Structure 1
Amino acid sequence: MTTSASKLSAYDKITIDAPASAVWARIRNFDALKDWLPPVAECPADKGNAPGSVRRIKLHGGGEVDETLLSHDEAGMQYSYSAADGGALPVTGYQSTVRVSPQGQQALVEWRGEFYRADRGENPAADKNDETATGAIQGIYKGGLAALKNLVEG
């Protein structure tokens, strides 16, 4: 088991057979997560796409997490956010960026994040180690991007 408190990361990407502008239109709003990430039941954002906006994510079946919009770049088709510690994510210090890039007539969607595992002590419980924390975030990215592809491509 890893006992270091080093920052962990997760990354996933997917190519969607649609123009980047069409894909960005689906995910650009900070409160649109419920429209393409299956576990999310609701996610109202108190200030829309303005930096500092807080979205309270409520998951189907229970669990919540608050996320704060750090930046929103309409022209660059990306936004970055951070998550409050605690809540439904098994990590702390979480920061993430979602970006859409044109690839000819297709769109490349990238989702990346950095974080620490929730338990940074020596000998963490099996459900709170580096691999579990990274796997949980990676699973969210993979499932979310696959659902977005399905939604956009029909």
Structure 2
Amino acid sequence: MRILRYLAVLFALLVPAMALAHGPTRQKVTLTVELPAAPEDVWAVIGDFQDMSWHPAVFSTTGEGGNEIDATRLLTLSEEGGPTIDEVLYKYDAEKMTYSYRINEVDVAVLPVTNYSSHLTVKPVDGGGSLVEWRGAFYRGYPNNDPPEELNDEAAIAGVSAVYQAGLDALAARFAGN
């Protein structure tokens, strides 16, 4: 009986402490843009995993494997010799105009995230045009409690949102004349 009381007290003391000791939570971002272009035309621009020339932050893309599962790409940002992001393709469906990829390696000073995965999809819009949806899930750049400001949840969400918005804005400008 004494052992049961001891365990009950120990449990009562540990449960609140465990609740406070949680790590980071998975964050999610979804941004969209409607474009006055046929889905096939938009997909022709963004549907090749090996080509991110449509994104203004990407200086160059190199990779292997085309659009096959486990294809890789290395994005060089801004300029020759700039920071890089190493990514791998894990889903691709040209018919549904969608693909999914994850980051294998990125310096958190470039994009303050870890365990990042993303999905890019083009959908038809009733009455014509396209909807591009870019969504991602990730953890902040600092995996422990009390992250520095530049690696916290807000910084991770802001960083991913900025990347997505810049790409979607570039697509909107590209297809504005259609």
TM-score range, shorter chain: over 0.9
Kindly state the Cα deviation for residue 125 of structure 1 after the two structures are TM-superposed: 0.7
4+ long deviations beyond 3 Å: none
Contact 1:84 1:92 (8 Å CA) reproduced: no
Q: Secondary structure at the match of 2:45?
A: helix
Rounded to whole Å, the distance in 2 between the matches of 1:85 and 1:134 is 18
- 2-side partners of 1:67 and 1:144: how far apart? 17
Matches within 5 A, 1:20-31: 20-31=39-50
Letter in 1 for 2:57: P
C-alpha distance in 2 between matches for 1:32 and 1:138: 21
Structure 2 unmatched ranges of 5 or more: 1-21
* Partner SS for 2:64: coil
Percent identity of the aligned residues?
33
Question: Which of the pair has the greater relative contact order for Cα pairs under 8 Å at 6+ separation?
Answer: 1
1:90 aligns with 2:108: no
Question: How many Å separate the matches in 2 of 1:90 and 1:84?
Answer: 14
User: 2:98 pairs with 73, 78, 94, which one?
Assistant: 78
Shift of 1:71: 1.0
5+ residue gaps, structure 1, are: none
Letter in 2 for 1:107: S
Equivalent pair of 1:85/1:91 in contact (CA under 8 Å): no
How far is the alpha carbon of 1:78 from its aligned partner? 0.4
1:7 matches 2:26:
yes
TM-score normalised by L of structure 1 = 0.93
Q: TM-score, normalised by structure 2?
A: 0.81
Q: Please provide the CA RMSD for this pair.
A: 1.2
SS in structure 1 opposite 2:59?
A: strand
